[in-house]
A and B are shown apart, each in its own frame.
Chain A
Amino acid sequence: MSHATGVKYLKDGVLPHMWCPGCGAGTVLGAMLRAFEELDFKNEETVVVTGIGCWGKADDYLVTNALHTTHGRALAFATGIKAFNPRLNVVVLMGDGDSVTIGGNHFIHAARRNIDLTAIVVNNMNYGMTGGQVSGTTPAGKITSTTVYGNPEREFDICALADAAGANYVARGTACHGWELQNSIKEALTKKGFSLVEAISPCPTHFGRNNNLKPALEMIRWLKEKAVPVEQYDPLAHPKEEGYFPFGRLVDRNAPDFNTRYEEIRARAARS
């Protein structure tokens, strides 16, 4: 059997992409498109909804349906699409700024509503597009272009947030574990209800440069060291304070999704 390449979802003549050398966005896009291919997604039945940011430009490369939205609001647009036509595969691509900083309210409510969307968040721990400013996921103490003396705030754990808000599926991956990431995305795409894949990604141009991880390889090495498969993750052996984190499938539930619930409402309305 030949391996999926995902190339058929790429627009002709758009490569090389615009992302910086060492950025993880291209790897995440590749993993997503291979997952699309393995699941035999049709362009007609697929809508990729993007936010605004480096990762939010991913739709430029795709030949599926797409809606490029406003900063932070992609999930709300996607909610309207999926709610009205539940047969569509709706995939939402957002940065960490998009998803849990400016768009945090939509994020928790999409998860609570358990609407059948797949959110793929590239978490590069800062605002890549606008020059590396602090984000809601920048770890405390880290340097960014707007926290030059260190970040006084704490960071969000995106996966924990989605879990607490009621997502049916939550996985964390990294841009340095392409195969695992592809599998997580595939699981998320097949899961009914709200699913989230967080892909931790190097941003050598901004975050790396500001935090002594300047060569792209340094950040990749750092991610390889700190990311621990969830099956092997032991909080005592892998202290959070030292930057360790588990990756893989973190949450897997089967609560009814929004559209299924709404069908019950329609049936009730018809009886009344």
Chain B
Amino acid sequence: MQREARLIQGNQAIAEGAIYAGARFYAGYPITPSSEIAEECSRIMPGVGGMYIQMEDEIASIAAVVGASLAGAKAFTATSGPGFSLMQENLGLAVMGEVPCVVINVQRSGPSTGLATKPAQSDVMQVRWGRHGDQSIIALSPSSVKECFTLTVQAFNLAERFRVPVILAADEIVAHMRESFTAPAPGELEVVDRKKPACPPGQYKPFEAGEDGVAPLAAYGSRYVFHVSSSMHGPDGYSNNSPANAAWRVAQLHRKIETHRDEIVMTRSYYTGDGCDVLLVAFGAVTRAARAAALEARKRGVKAGVLQLITLWPFPDLEVAVLGENARTVVVPEMNYAGQVAGEVRKALGPGKDIRRVNKFNGQIITPKDILEAVM
């Protein structure tokens, strides 16, 4: 990876971030606006001892990613709307089997094929709830080319740390935008590897979590022999249909995320140091418009600030509550119809709060002007 400043696309930064994080396996199926990630990986992976494999569809892509991860790889895939929908069932297996992996979902306008080349932020709820059954995952959202790189590294770190699929919910704007970017030197960003078992091989139980709620994960082909299952299973990975076991399992999948919430939830605030009367809660590319709108509002005498949600799930409810409490008005601009994030903000701040939604769902980006109209 070159160390000088380059003008590169978000999608390229995602591919490079994955390599930096140690990813050596990519399985995918091309779809706009994510295809450049596949192309980059097909070029880079074989040269670094990794593998690029183009599968027959997205169902197979996430399946191959899960398989490779269990064979010891840091593995990922990238897709968009239709492909992300196809991945849901097997993503559920990754949740159930606690298989670390990363899925890049470059959000585009829907429903269905929709506006295939245009941006949206309308998968926020699908990212969280797209799979059937009780399950818990982590999702991050980048707002710049640099964050495309750094949050991809973070996504792998969190996946490895918590044995959970992590979704990078990007959008077409950050994915295709070009910005000047200098790749961090090796060692500059932390890179986390999954915890490996240390017990004698005969005693290894792949779902027996230690103190921190996350069980070590061996690799197929190591000294440790183990079972992973999409069906309800006990600590040893073998089928177990008892109610007590099912209750323990489902709770454990949630608790490992809940109890480490503070390690996972990342936000950044802008122009909030002196308190703010108007708080803009934004994520992804729209964060940029929100920052411009806040600066303009301040010029016009309104104390406005921005809270960027870097982690989308688990939702940063406490962070929203802390900053939102003292604000007169909270504005949530997002590229979807229903206000998917605004609803979560409402939950965090309660029914009495003046929360204004700015929604655009026509394939166009939300502008600072759109937001200012709600602020002023």
Q: Which of A's residues lie within 8 Å of B, judged by CB?
A: 11, 43-45, 47, 49, 52, 57, 59-60, 63-70, 73, 76-85, 87-88, 105-106, 109, 262, 265-266, 268-270, 272
Contacts and interface: CB of A to CB of B under 8 A. Distances in A.
B71 A84 contact: yes
Nearest to B65: A80
A68 B56 contact: no
A60 B229 CA distance: 10
Given A60-B239, A73-B90, A266 B63 contact: no
B207 to A, nearest CB: 13
B220 A76 contact: no
Contacts of A109: 55-56, 60
B49 interface: yes
B68 A44 contact: no
B153 interface: no
B46 interface: yes
B231 A65 contact: no
Interface in B153-202: none
B227 A84 contact: no
A77 B67 contact: yes
B59 A84 contact: no
Contacts of B72: 84-85
A105 B56 contact: yes
Contacts of B68: 80-81, 83-84
Contact of A44 (B56, B61, B222): B222
Interface residues of B, number: 47
Contacts of B3: none
29 contacts: A43-B225, A44-B223, A47-B71, A47-B220, A57-B239, A60-B238, A65-B227, A66-B228, A66-B237, A67-B227, A70-B89, A70-B230, A76-B55, A79-B55, A79-B64, A80-B70, A80-B71, A81-B70, A82-B67, A83-B53, A85-B71, A87-B221, A88-B221, A105-B60, A106-B56, A106-B60, A262-B46, A266-B49, A269-B47
Interface in B61-105: 61, 63-73, 75, 89-90, 93, 97
Identify which of B47, B49, B227 gathers the most chain A CB atoms within 10 Å of its CB.
Answer: B227
Contacts of A265: 46
B20 interface: no
A47 B226 CA distance: 9
A76 B60 contact: yes
A18 to B, nearest CB: 10
